[in-house]
Amino acid sequence: MKIRWAQWPSSAVRAMGAACAAAVCAAGAQTPSAGASSTPGISDNVVKIGVMTDMSGMYTDLGGKASVNTAQMAIDDFKLAHKPAFKIELVYADHQNKADIASSKAREWFDVQGVDMVTDGLNSATGLAVAKIAGEKKKVVLNTGTGSMRFTNEDCTPYTVAWVYDTYSSANVAARAVVQGGGDTWAFLTADYTFGHSLERDTSEVVKAMGGKVLGAVRAPLGASDFSSYLIQLQATKAKVIGLANGGADTINSIKAANDFGLTKDQKLVGLVTFISDIHALGLKATQGMLISDGWYWDTNDETRTWARRFFEKNKRMPSMLYAGIYSATYNYLEAVQTAKTDDADAVMKVLRGKKINDMFAKNGYIREDGRMIHDMYLMQVKTPEESKYAWDYLKRVATVPGDQAFQPLSKSTCPLVKKPA
């Protein structure tokens, strides 16, 4: 693998751009831009976007109201830049991490409310449920918060895009570096549902392919309140590395428990899907030195810092890659609608698949036939308290992994849309 090693920028944060003035409408619906008339190809002259997220559960800090705010930022910026002749409305729902609730809401959105595109997700089971219905109804789903490989493998649809990350890229970027550094025996603490199983499997394959060994795994229910028994089992494996195949509150609570148990004295924790909000909640003392895979970092350059400061003014915290992905997906979707002059899903997806994604989230990104949006991924390391120079200065980039190397090769995809060589 050819990896571009990064030169980390100076710690000084330069002056940021002006904040976006518009706020989220309490009802979730937005009025048209001044002077808007109509676009004949837009049904009812309204493009409606739905944010399906976790407003009240264990993934709230990765989505929730901030996801809604972020989609609204993209809508406001698009309207300011393009002055569309169609209305744009935003709705949102709390899936409560339950697939049946997500399915019911998606059907209502598509059949009754006329929603054209759904984004966020934040739970692979709920995301897959929405994508299945969207495929049947020919509606666009731009997944930003869900990581299961099923979205671009057996459950792919012509209307579904995995925009931010997946378990393959998370495993490939982080596990490869750890094994190369001597961490050649692994055990896993796995969230016992689709996402966790996929992350454990994909990471195990990388470890084994590089000559390492997997010595065990324990599976904890989603939202477990006590990780002590699981950690005792993992400690007994004597694996050099404990891979955390979980996310959200489960990641935070398992890292806390691992430190309390003293497990980190002899075994290294690797947060396979760990976010800046997790680091913030735990503090640098508990997380320093951890290697994580990431698709975007707020303190990378002037463009990312400017956008992140705007996000901070609305949400009082710095954004993770998931929020940057929601903004990118929503803005690019609206650009595709404007170009296609219709909200017809087939026409919009044709434009999306043919365009380059160049914004503060990705450079030269593109959507493959399996629905994977290809962009660079990053190996990051959590700074020590001494290295951190200002608020939210938590990560340093160790390496840049080009997208065509970070994500699953198209040749391995089981997506029925992928044309296999004769």
The identity of residue 224, as a single letter, is A
Instruction: Taking residues 250-277, report their average pLDDT.
Output: 91
pLDDT at 269 over 50: yes
Backbone angles phi, psi at 191, to 5 degrees: -70, 130
The mean-pLDDT minimum among 5-19, 231-245, 294-308, 366-380 falls in 5-19
Tell me: the pLDDT tens digits for 345-359?
Answer: 999 999 999 999 999
The two tokens of residue 306 are 């400017």
E strand segments, 139-240: 140-143, 160-162, 185-191, 213-220
Tell me: the pLDDT tens digits for 142-185?
Answer: 999 999 999 999 999 999 999 999 999 999 999 998 999 899 99
Q: Hey, which CATH number is domain 43-165+299-376, 3.30.470.20, 3.40.430.10, 3.90.1150.10, 3.40.50.2300?
A: 3.40.50.2300
The two tokens of residue 62 are 């990765």
Share of the chain above pLDDT 70, in %: 91
Q: What is the pLDDT of residue 422?
A: 59
Confirm if 70 and 311 have CB atoms less than 8 A apart: yes
pLDDT at 245 over 50: yes
Confirm if 88 and 27 have CB atoms less than 8 A apart: no
> Model-level pTM?
0.86
Nearest to residue 102, comparing CAs of 61, 46, 146? 146
Domain with CATH 3.40.50.2300 in the chain: 43-165+299-376, 174-294+378-406
Q: What count of other Cβ atoms lies within 10 Å of the Cβ of residue 302?
A: 14
Confirm if 395 and 386 have CB atoms less than 8 A apart: no
C-alpha to C-alpha distance for 53 and 60, rounded to whole angstroms: 8
Q: How far is CA 221 from the centre of its chain?
A: 22
CA distances from 380 to 7, 17, 74, 79, 213 (A): 13, 26, 27, 35, 23
Q: Which CATH architecture has domain 174-294+378-406?
A: 3-Layer(aba) Sandwich (3.40)
C-alpha to C-alpha distance for 190 and 183, rounded to whole angstroms: 18
Q: What is the pLDDT of residue 225?
A: 87
Tell me: the pLDDT tens digits for 365-392?
Answer: 999 999 999 999 999 999 999 999 999 9
Q: Of the spans 67-76, 188-197, 225-234, 286-295, which averages the highest pLDDT?
A: 67-76
Instruction: Taking residues 64-74, report their average pLDDT.
Output: 98
Matching residue, tokens 């980039």: 397
In this prediction, residue 13 has a pLDDT band, given cuts at 50, 70 and 90, of very low
Tell me: the pLDDT tens digits for 94-106?
Answer: 999 999 999 999 9
Average pLDDT, the chain: 90
Q: What is the pLDDT of residue 248?
A: 86
Q: What is the pLDDT of residue 362?
A: 98
Tell me: the pLDDT tens digits for 15-52?
Answer: 333 333 333 333 344 434 433 457 789 999 999 999 99
Cα 196-199-205 angle, rounded to 5 deg:
140
Q: What is the pLDDT of residue 39?
A: 76
